[in-house]
Structure 1
Amino acid sequence: MTPAAAAPKSVLARLLLVGAVCLLSACAGSAPPRSVSAAVPGDADSGAAGAKAAAATAAYCLGAGDQLRVIVFGEEDLSGEFEVDDTGAVSLPLIGQVVAKDLTLRSFEAAVQERLQEGYLKDPRVSVQVLSYRPFYIIGEVDEPGEYPFVSGMNVLNAVALSGGFTPRANTSKVLITRGGHESAYPVTHQTHLEPGDMIRIPERFF
């Protein structure tokens, strides 16, 4: 059972706090633009953050554990909530398994539409949204290593806080993140953002 599933109240409280912080950050970046006459300092930064978030969503590649909402317009029986399984595929009504791993949302939509056109629907229209992302993992010098739910906008400091904080032996200036099969070193700052499925390793410091 994962830490999030059977977490003590302290861990759940940290998860709620991290989620609130990330949500506030996302809201700041997704607010509708004001008119030029009503512009205030900081609007440009918020707009840039919103554009960056939208670009990140468009570029996001699906993977095992992602929870999706698939809508086939006008076809309620073919719509619903589905999970990308361990093989990287989604099992959909009528058409069966459709590969999702490493596809963007738009590419997966196109793949579903193509399958539906193969003798099932004449002109299908499909929309796909991510309901929840696959978890991230943190190991090494933190108090509560393990698997945790990913929240959009998370950074490495959020992950450390969620896992109970650094141990006394932790290297608090460097973190190692495995992403796409490659491990790289990053600074421990708010600017080191996470992606779903990341494996975070907090190394031990050398005295």
Structure 2
Amino acid sequence: MPAAVQGVPGRIGVAAGVMMRRSLVLAAVAALLLGRETIGLAQDSQYVIGPDDVLSVVFWRDKDMSQDVVVRPDGKISLPLVNDVQAGGLTPSQLRDSIKDAARRFVEDPSVTVVVKQINSRKVFITGQIEKPGPYPINGPTSVVQLISLAGGLKEYTDGKRILIMRTDKAGRKVARPFNYHEVLAGKNLEQNIDLEPGDTVVVP
């Protein structure tokens, strides 16, 4: 009997250690991903603007015209004097040139800067037995494990072996890819840890 009693704390300690290591791994992956997101947002001049993105438009000599704007569903933004300008489908530098051309009717030699402050158009979704389900904006390569980490990890007692990655192919068909979370964390079958694309949905049953 004493031996059995002594064994219980030991098992609890081992379980706690496993949970702690898992939490540390998730935190490290999330920190790495957030760092990459920040770098990508600052450096990717070829990013294509989309609906719901938040832009900072700065007129250096005309501060009253400077604004933070949200790209509308039709891809346009509204600015003082120049009114509607097409933003969706353009890079920040292309939009800057378009705004400068429109502003020349009212401002002599306008100096304009366009910065993407928040990316909301490139989203992936995660649902099911996850701590923080919902949409997540991505910029740059984001793997399934990284998304799960950003979403707070799997809920306690979740199997994690039958996760599905739902994607719409070029023909418009829904394709489901299997994903085994525990295999990937163990370094096995890493090819299933694909980079996600905007519109992908990760389902955790």
1:158 is the counterpart of 2:146 = yes
Aligned residue in 1 for 2:95: 108
How many residues get paired?
A: 160
Aligned residue in 2 for 1:199: 199
Q: Which structure is higher in helix share? A: 2
Q: TM-score of the superposition, structure 2-length normalised? A: 0.60
Q: Structure 2 stretches of 5 or more lacking a match? A: 1-25, 178-190
Matches within 5 A, 1:163-202: 163-165=151-153, 167-168=158-159, 171-172=162-163, 175-177=165-167, 188-189=192-193, 192=195, 198-202=198-202
Shift of 1:169: 6.4
Matches within 5 A, 1:27-176: 54=43, 57-117=44-104, 119-134=105-120, 136-143=123-130, 144-150=132-138, 154-165=142-153, 167-168=158-159, 171-172=162-163, 175-176=165-166
Q: TM-score of the superposition, structure 1-length normalised? A: 0.60
Task: Please identify the structure whose Cα radius of gyration is greater.
Answer: 2
Equivalent-residue separation in structure 2 for 1:127 and 1:146 (angstroms): 32
**RMSD in angstroms over aligned alpha carbons?**
3.7
Percent identity over the alignment is 25
Equivalent-residue separation in structure 2 for 1:175 and 1:162 (angstroms): 16
